[in-house]
């Protein structure tokens, strides 16, 4: 039941959003054992120089202006190893599917309790 936001700079590839979405979805299935039908994503394209900003260098990693930010909100309970596997699958998957640099993939994982979720009607099925 992760909620995913993918923000990227607009690209010439009209299929980029779909490729990015499927890459993250597949990585969540593999690394976190998320069922395929647990699929809640927002993918947003931004013009170059408008809306996505980051340092040119951080922790010895060089970045370009061609950044992709992936923010995943999910319930707590995954190990450090699962998180690292997820990050690596997303980064390498985006590089393989879209040709972008893995150094330009910024990922943030936000964990919360299951009672903080509603999937419609204002119901809290896990509260």
The residue ranking higher by pLDDT, 81 or 58, is 81
pLDDT band at 4 (very low <50, low <70, confident <90, very high): very high
Q: Where are the domains of the chain?
A: 3-116
Task: Please state the rounded mean pLDDT for residues 86-102.
Answer: 96
Whether 2 is catalytic is yes
Nearest to 106 by CA among 70, 81, 82, 58: 70
The residue ranking higher by pLDDT, 7 or 50, is 7
Task: Give the model's pLDDT for residue 8.
Answer: 92
pLDDT for 126 beyond 80? yes
pLDDT band at 68 (very low <50, low <70, confident <90, very high): very high
Where would I find the beta strands (DSSP E) of the chain? 3-9, 40-46, 57-58, 61-62, 68-75, 105-112
pLDDT for 84 beyond 80? yes
Task: Give the model's pLDDT for residue 116.
Answer: 84
Give me the percent of the chain exceeding a pLDDT of 70.
Answer: 99
**Catalytic residue (choose from 2, 35, 55, 125):** 2
- Mean pLDDT of the chain, nearest integer: 91
Per residue in 22-61, pLDDT tens?
999 999 999 999 999 988 999 999 988 787 777 788 889 8
The whole model's pTM is what?
A: 0.90
Evaluate whether the domain defined by 3-116 bears CATH number 3.30.559.10.
no
């Amino acid at each position: 039941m992760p909620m995913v936001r993918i923000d990227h700079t607009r690209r010439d590839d009209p299929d980029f959003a779909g490729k990015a979405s499927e890459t993250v979805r597949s990585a969540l299935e593999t690394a976190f054992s998320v069922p395929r039908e647990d699929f809640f994503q927002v993918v947003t394209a931004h013009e170059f120089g408008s809306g996505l900003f980051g340092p040119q260098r951080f922790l010895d990693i060089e970045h370009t202006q061609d950044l992709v930010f992936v923010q995943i909100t999910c319930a707590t309970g995954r190990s450090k190893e699962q998180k690292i596997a997820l990050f690596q699958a997303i980064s390498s998957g985006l590089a393989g599917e879209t040709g972008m640099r893995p150094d330009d993939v910024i990922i943030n994982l936000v964990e919360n309790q299951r009672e903080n979720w509603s999937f419609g009607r204002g119901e809290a099925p896990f509260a």
